[in-house]
Structure 1
Amino acid sequence: MIKTLMKSIRQYRKESILSPIFVSVEVFIEMFIPYIMSWLIDDGIMKGNTSLITKLGLFLLLMAFISLMFGIGASYFSAKAAAGFAANLRKDMFFNTQNFSFENIDKFSSSSLVTRLTTDINNIQLAYQMLIRIAVRAPLMLIVSIVMAFVVNAKLAIQFVIMAPIMAILLALIIKNAFPFFPKIFKNYDKLNQTVRENVRGIREVKTYVHEQEQIDKFSKSSNMIYKLFSGAQKIIALNAPVMMLLLNGSMLLLSWFGAKLIVGHEMQTGQLVSMFSYSNSVLFSLMILSMIFTQLTISQASGKRITEVINEQSTITQPAKHPVTDLNNGDIVFDHANFKYEKDSDVLALSDINLHIHSGETIGIIGETGSSKSTLVAMIPRLYDVSGGAVRVAGHNVRSYDLKTLRDNVAMVLQNNVLFSGTIKDNLRWGNENASDEEIIAAAKVAHADGFINEFPDGYDTMIEQGGNNVSGGQKQRITIARALLKKPKILILDDSTSAVDTKTEKEIRLALKRDMPNTTKIIISQRIVSIKDADRIIVMNHGRIEDIGTHDELIERNDLYSSLNKYQSEKEK
């Protein structure tokens, strides 16, 4: 974990090194000041030596100023290094998620990824800033204070040697009991973020079904669980303060008692006792700071593990190791005994022994009951998933041998719930081709029958799309996403139930336009409506992850019970 996280320091190594150096200088100067103070009191004030008081006073002012400057420098460098480290971690996590396959995405929920990119990163940032500044200052202060205490008076300094291990043992016990709470806390943060995300995205449905109170209760349950876990952890961590105060007060009493006896016995001077009080405070203060550091590191350890899980996650779909195919010249597709399962260790196949040849330029319809793996089948073509067995070939090459960008640039896939992004309609359309001209954009929109309603907006193609596309209807959103896919000028076009929100008349016009304007493009249309696919060259009937039958509409009506029953039911429903 540490090795993975340290790779993200990169350009902030200099600040990460300078901060502890500046802290070290600051501590050495600070710890030397009480020693000079003892001279000032014993040889200056007690003996009335005005000249020495002046010299030592000025020297102390100079040392305090230098210590202050190094302290400011340490704060600046640690803050810059920690902020840069956190920025790099976010970048590394986000960049890696862009390489994830659908299988990787399924492993991490979106709410969990948001928590890891925000809360967990913030924890690591705070911990790192403490690590390169306070975590250097506290142990160094502890060591130097004890050494200087022995220089002043070895007899009194022995108590520090006794106190330090006692405190370390108590601190270890506190951390050991508090740590198990934090992984649970972050898992519940994931649940809370998921609740908020679902509520915000589905706020219209929440209000439509009057489920506000149910959502409030769901949020409260997650929030209360986080509160409960945090409270449990804080009750244990809160023991730090009273334990520290007990040791601090006990140390002061022992110093006062034995120090007074040593002064009376002329074995120690007043100034030395004053410096011992200062070193005592420094020792116990450094121990208290160390307890805070260990607490934060305990929290950040759980966050660090969650972050490294994302950074170290390897995409299950990778580029070919050698000589990837960079040319895809037709839309011919072959499924050769293809199998697929979502879990590697599972015995359940989502797709079983798929044998299929789709000719370039052919229009294929796919139909089947919900859960028959229609979408899973077509997801194999652009390698959104990889087959678990067998092979999928496009234009004569195994899809695994293609350069991923080449493959996916030539396979356009439009889903039922495709997303529109914040920006103008034109910006969203250019996702298909960022270099598309206005003429090409309008042409694609006309094929998708989107040009008409776009021009009805006051700003036309420059109309701003709200987050999630909430200012356009479902049918309009689907037509925009179809136009976006067409701008790729793909060799293979997959429409996965992507006209479900479009009326049948407009849908028919879209199909005719696709047939007329894209004759050489292989078109695969998945639909629950037979009317959407009845004119296809061939129709595939899927059932429980298998191809049950393939044929034209008329052939399937005659020989396939599932297809004919669906046709009969839908025909009666339309009457």
Structure 2
Amino acid sequence: MKTVLSYLSPYKWLVITALLFMLIELSVELVQPLLIAAIIDEGILANDQQKIFFLGSIMLGLSVIAFFAGIINTFIASHAVQSYGYDIRQAIFKKIQSFTMATFFKFPTASLITRLTNDVTITQNVIFMGLRIMLRAPLLVIGSIIMSFLVHPYLALFLVIGAPFLVVFLYIMSRKGLTLFGNVQKSVDKVTRKVQENLQAVRLIKAYLRGNFESTRFAGVAETLKMDNVKAFRIMELILPVLLFVMNVSLMAVLWFGAKEIQTADAQMGELVAIVNYAMRMTGAFSMFAFIIIFFSRAKASAERMEEVLLVQEGIEEIDNDLKREFPREGKIEFQHVSFHYPTTNTPVLKDVSFSVQPGSKLAIMGATGSGKSTLLNLIPRFFEATEGEILVDGIDVKEWSLRELRQVIGVVPQQSILFTGSIEDNLGWGDSTATTELLKEAAKQAQIHNSIEQFPDQYNTKVGQKGVNLSGGQKQRLSIARALVRKPEILLLDDSTSALDVSTENALWEALEDENATMLVITQKVRTAQGADQILLLDEGAVSAYGTHNELMESSSLYREIAESQQEGDDHVELHS
């Protein structure tokens, strides 16, 4: 938990102040039994009304001080903990943003969501309870033992007789709790993942009437979470009865031997009452230990999960490095014997791929599903590093570019159109936050979406639902293309980004992009689209099967002819088979 707790450092003075006021409360609580003993021995038994009034007034004054100390402690602790939660959430989110794609895929999305939300909340709550209650409980036990020995050492021995057993018992239970609540957090991840998956696929679930089936599947993961919680809390519930049993035995021993001490005049009535009072306070504190161990175990499990993200050292993108070389920006792309496999497998996705694309030209990339088309595009902005070979942009290896400089010259339109909650203007400006309204509209016109936007009641201020749920597939694709065009990139990567467009709209789009001074790499399944490209790259199981113009491939590639002939028969969207 060291890394997680380090985010409290900026608020150390708030923490110290909160602890100071907690100690004031604790001091009052430890002094009160002494005052009660004095009232009994020096006031009630001595029939001294003035003494009773005087000591009672002191007790009342100390209680008021403790009351205000508790309020101030709560206020300061809340401020420190909420600030801490903000800081650590920001740090985790920023760290996730710095992950390479390979590192990102090591963490399930649902798990990252849980770490940013549930895990942070758990640690916040435990730190707050630590400043307010949790640290007070063990200090109250220790303080009560010390004060008991000051009051009457012989009777105090009976309070600590079970201490060694309790220390060992609590240590064992805390270790068990850490393991069990770690399992609980993993089960929470699975529930979050299932909810996320179902909410994203809600249309498909309704279309196929699979609601009951998905409910049954959700019940399975929810049942696992329930059983993990039950198992954890069942073990933890043993703590309180054991603690109370040991303390009650100690209390009975104090009363038994205390009565004998009073009979022999070796102890006063007030001293016995004070010892009993301290024993009751210890019992109350021990009753909190069960909850402390539960919350601490959960917090430690959550802290370790957060640290797993915060301490990632490898697979981090250095967006701002010291390399500030001025590169030419023309948009030429070269692949030289490039091979690639994902970090989690040795199966090659790309094998010895070589080709070049001249500045301002258009390359169509075709191939069967799984042939490596999207992977090829992902290597250019260095979402992944090539396993072998070199990728050159304007004659410079992409590894020599700073990531910021490299990605500033690239516009990416992913296969799945991703839009963000906000207005249409916000989504278009996301590509370049400095773009003017005129530039946004120009890009929208090029992407053939301007007229559709103008028909919306709020036009460019129209709110886009989560992931563009209130837009059609074609509208989302065209907005994604416009967002990339706003950047005025030298290289434009389009991953099957016109699949939802009708023929006339797509033709108008390509015609509008002819004036765009950008090198375009376009993944497509349509021969009609590929025909308008300067070159066509045909991939087959990760290797280059053919490379050239449409006419050249019709003559030299039987695979390409097969694709063209099948689409000429009327199916533009036939899947490519190797």
**TM score, norm. by length of structure 1:** 0.96
2:419–2:467 CA contact under 8 A, matched in 1: yes
TM-score in terms of structure 2 length: 0.95
Q: Deviations over 1:289-341 (max 9, x none)?
A: 23322221111111111111122224443247532335451101122232222
1:378 shift after superposition:
0.9
8 Å contact kept, 2:159–2:251: no
Determine the C-alpha separation between the residues in 2 that align with 1:250 and 1:155.
16
C-alpha change, 1:561 and 1:182, in structure 2 (3 Å) is: farther
**1:317–1:386: 8 Å Cα contact kept in structure 2?**
no
- Which position in structure 2 is the counterpart of 1:450? 449
Shift of 1:476: 0.9
Cα shift at 1:560: 1.4
Structure 1 28/461 Cα, relative in aligned 2: closer, same or farther at 3 Å? same
Greater Cα shift, 370-379 or 17-26: 17-26
State whether residues 419 and 476 of structure 2, in contact with CA within 8 Å, keep that contact through their aligned partners in structure 1: yes
Structure 1 Cα separation of the partners of residues 2 and 251 of structure 2: 42
**Structure 1 portions without partners, runs of 5+:** none
Q: Which residue identity is paired with 1:568?
A: E
Contact 2:180–2:232 (Cα < 8 Å) also in 1:
yes
Structure 1 Cα separation of the partners of residues 87 and 436 of structure 2: 36
Match of 2:560? 563
The answer to whether the 8 A contact 2:159-2:247 is kept is no
Q: In structure 2, how many angstroms separate the alpha carbons of the residues matched to 1:203 and 1:146?
A: 60
Tell me: CA distance 1:164–1:287, structure 2 relative to 1, closer, same or farther (3 Å).
Answer: farther
CA–CA separation in structure 2 for the residues paired with 1:568 and 1:320: 49
- Please give the secondary structure, in 1, of the residue aligned with 2:265: coil
d(CA) in 2 for partners of 1:76 and 1:316?
Answer: 38
What is the number of residues matched between the two proteins? 571
Residue in 1 aligned with 2:576? none
Structure 2 equivalent of residue 272 of structure 1 = 271
Task: Note if contact 2:96-2:309 (Cα within 8 Å) is conserved in structure 1.
Answer: yes
**Helix, strand or coil: the match of 2:161?**
helix
Measure, in 1, the Cα distance between the counterparts of 2:9 and 2:419: 35
Taking only the aligned residue pairs, the percentage that are identical comes to: 33
Decide whether aligned partners of structure 1 residues 307 and 281 sit closer, same or farther in structure 2, where only a CA change above 3 A counts: same
Q: Contact conserved, 2:237 with 2:290, CA < 8 A, in 1?
A: no
**Separation of aligned partners in 2, 1:51 and 1:461:** 81
Does residue 377 of structure 2 align to residue 372 of structure 1? no
Other-structure match for 1:533: 530
1:442 alignment partner, SS class:
helix
Q: Which moved more, 1:473-482 or 1:48-57?
A: 48-57
Range 129-138 or range 372-381, more displaced: 129-138
Opposite residue 364 of structure 1, the aligned amino acid is: L
Q: Hey, what does 2:420 align to over in structure 1?
A: 421
What is the correspondence of 1:45-444 to structure 2 with a 5 Å cutoff?
45-314=44-313, 315-319=315-319, 321-325=321-325, 327-343=327-343, 346-444=345-443
Give the structure 2 partner of residue 573 of structure 1. 570
1:283 CA drift (Å): 2.1
Q: 1:452-487 CA deviation, whole Å, 9 max, x = no partner? A: 211121222221111111111101110111111111
Q: Are 2:98 and 2:316, in contact at CA under 8 Å, matched by a contact in 1? A: no
Q: More displaced, 231-240 or 330-339?
A: 330-339
SS of residue matched to 2:351: strand
Distance 1:23 1:440 in 2: 59
Equivalent residue letter for 1:573: G
* Greater displacement, 314-323 / 482-491: 314-323
CA RMSD of aligned residues (A): 1.7
Give the Cα separation in 2 of the matches to 1:125 and 1:236: 24
Other-structure match for 1:12: 11
Letter in 2 for 1:191: K
Does the 8 Å CA contact 1:537/1:552 hold for their aligned counterparts?
yes
Give per-residue Cα distances to partners, 1:242-270, cap 9 Å, x unaligned: 11221232222212211111111111111
**In the superposition, relative to structure 1, how do residues 207 and 500 fare at CA in structure 2: closer, same or farther (>3 Å)?**
same
* SS of equivalent to 1:7: helix
Match of 1:497 in 2: 496
Q: Deviations over 1:183-218 (max 9, x none)?
A: 222222111111111211221111111111111112
Cα distance in structure 1, aligned partners of 2:5 and 2:386: 36
Distance 1:574 1:226 in 2: 48
Further displaced range: 106-115 or 361-370: 106-115
Q: 1:546 aligns with which of 543, 547, 558?
A: 543
SS at match of 2:392: strand
Q: Any conservation in 2 of the 1:556–1:563 contact (CA below 8 Å)?
A: yes
What SS class does the counterpart of residue 179 from structure 1 fall into? helix
* CA distance in 2: counterparts of 1:38 and 1:507, whole angstroms: 91
Bigger drift between 430-439 and 545-554 goes to: 430-439
CA contact (8 A) 2:240 2:289 kept: no
Preserved CA contact (<8 Å) 1:141 1:286: yes
Q: Is the 8 A contact 2:119 2:299 kept in 1?
A: yes
